[in-house]
Amino acid sequence: MDWTGGYVADIGYISGFYRELGPTYLSFAARLQGEPAPDPARPFTYAELGCGQGVGTAILAAANPHARFVGIDLLPAHIANARDLAEAAGLANVAFHEAGFDEAAAWPDGALPAFDYVTLHGIYAWISEANRQAVVRFLARWLKPGGLVYVSYNAMPGWAGLQPLQRLLREHAARHPDRSDRQIEAGLGFVQRLREAGLAYFDRHPAATSKLDGMGEPASEAAYLAHEYLNTAAQPLYASDVADELAAAKLAYVGSADLIENYDALSLPEPARQALAESADPAFRELIRDYAVNRQFRRDIFVKGSRPGTGAQQDAALLDTALVPLRARSAMTANFTTHLGEMAGRTQVYRPLMDRLARGRATLGELTEATGVEPAACIQACAVLTATGQVHPAQPTADPAPAHRLGAELARRILQDELHGYLPAPAAGNGIAASDIEIVALDALREAGPETADRLARAVWSRFRAVGRRMVRDGETLTSERANLRELRRRARAILRERVPVWRKLGLL
């Protein structure tokens, strides 16, 4: 395993998608924090480091055909799968490279373009210090001035109680050589027995017991857990250490991609806000925020060269940003949950904004004008509506063909039990969440044009039946064709009523 730097290499990682990596999302997040950001409506360059199976990079490439994407990962099986997917969908604007971060950081001039965005999800706290330094060299070398970086990692202090659990799984695995997923399964069995035997660690560390409760459910979990817990180099990081390390690539912290976390009034208890007032040091304040909520995971955005403008410039950049709805009006809500518990947005602010946004794309400037909501309240409410997945930063509709081709390929793979709950949405420049049935239904709608619920249900059923897929209702698998069709008709009615109008606004149909 020498070539991996301690990274688990004998089984592939799960295929995931995380909207925070989307360029439109990242630029909006940076603007909300007062930083000028690359304009994702213009041609741009984007690299995902540790792209895994490449599904996320491929979705972003399909949703942004005017931009150029690069995915880099150490594991050849990941890169082979990623290339297969891109080829199957005919994506011409993405290249996948099998390389370690150290190699890519040292590639000769011209091997890569300079990037507007570099993202790393689930990488930085899972690799060795030497590899973290290689990532920093990559950023110093290949990120443009003014470029944005997204980096997520397991964080302290929230991970403090979990480290001994990780250690125990690793120690058990070291004494039971086997394939990583089997080591995880055996290790979890062992740990559960210790817990049932009443070992004090489990009593005193509720974070560990609640993690254990959530482990080992679906079959794909073992691959996730192996990469999460068996990497010998994995360790949680303090936000201030990450900021220090990335400062070597001239990066400055911008804010969290969890947009609500950037509003102390919405996310921190009053005593924590008072503690924050005691320091003007941004890195120290960020650390206090992590202690205030015992944060386990961070999604940080950095910029190469911070240059906050005047308040008026910041507002102008935001008021120029457009949003599109991700939900029908009936499914939108002003309620949201933060570390403070359930919150309710002010009706006189949220209601008119949701009414207008549900009708279709609008810039924040148009929203304030149409609703009379003043800019500061409009901006904050739009951040909350974005964070809660109800609207999304928009971009001018580009060529939707690559997104449609990838959507068709994902629908085909879903029928082969490769689960991906996302679709590329050209008008959002990002992936959007969709269930298996929705993804297959969208594919059927694209092929057959406008449909009644009955015809849509039959089209989905013919695809499901061909691969032996059955509908499940109230936990029960439906066996007869009649019952499957009845359930599919119910779903199809909801899709035609709630999803299709939104999909049209997103350029999916």
Ligand X SMILES: C[S@@+](CC[C@H](N)C(=O)[O-])C[C@H]1O[C@@H](n2cnc3c(N)ncnc32)[C@H](O)[C@@H]1O
Report the nearest approach of ligand X to the CB of residue 89 (Å): 18
Interface residues with ligand X (CB under 6 A) are 5, 7, 13, 16, 50-52, 73-75, 78, 100-101, 121-123, 126-127, 131, 227
User: Is-contact 71 82, C-beta < 8 A?
Assistant: yes
Nearer residue to ligand X within complex by CB, 49 or 382: 49
Both tokens assigned to 125: 């706290």
Residue written as token pair 């180099």:
233
Nearer residue to ligand X within complex by CB, 105 or 168: 105
Q: Hey, what long-range contacts does 473-478 have (CB within 8 A, 24 or more apart)?
A: none
The angle, 0 to 180 degrees and rounded to 10, between the axes of the packed helices 436-448 and 401-414 is: 130
Nearer residue to ligand X within complex by CB, 5 or 393: 5
Alpha carbon distance 95, 72 (integer Å): 9
Nearer residue to ligand X within complex by CB, 289 or 299: 299
Nearer residue to ligand X within complex by CB, 149 or 319: 149
Nearer residue to ligand X within complex by CB, 21 or 488: 21
Nearest by Cα to 261 from 226, 292, 233: 292
Nearer residue to ligand X within complex by CB, 7 or 461: 7
Alpha carbon distance 254, 37 (integer Å): 11
Report the nearest approach of ligand X to the CB of residue 289 (Å): 24
Report the nearest approach of ligand X to the CB of residue 278 (Å): 36
Nearer residue to ligand X within complex by CB, 103 or 498: 103
Burial class (CB in 10 A: 0-12, 13-18, 19+), 387: buried
Report the nearest approach of ligand X to the CB of residue 427 (Å): 24
User: How, if at all, do strands 143-154 and 115-120 pair?
Assistant: parallel
Report the nearest approach of ligand X to the CB of residue 492 (Å): 31
Is residue 47 classed as helix, strand or coil in its secondary structure?
strand
Report the nearest approach of ligand X to the CB of residue 240 (Å): 23
Type of residue numbered 63? A
Report the nearest approach of ligand X to the CB of residue 16 (Å): 4
Q: Would you say how long the chain is, in residues?
A: 509
Is residue 259 classed as helix, strand or coil in its secondary structure?
helix
Report the nearest approach of ligand X to the CB of residue 180 (Å): 12
Residue written as token pair 């990002």:
430
Alpha carbon distance 448, 422 (integer Å): 22
Q: How many CB atoms lie within 10 A of CB 199?
A: 13
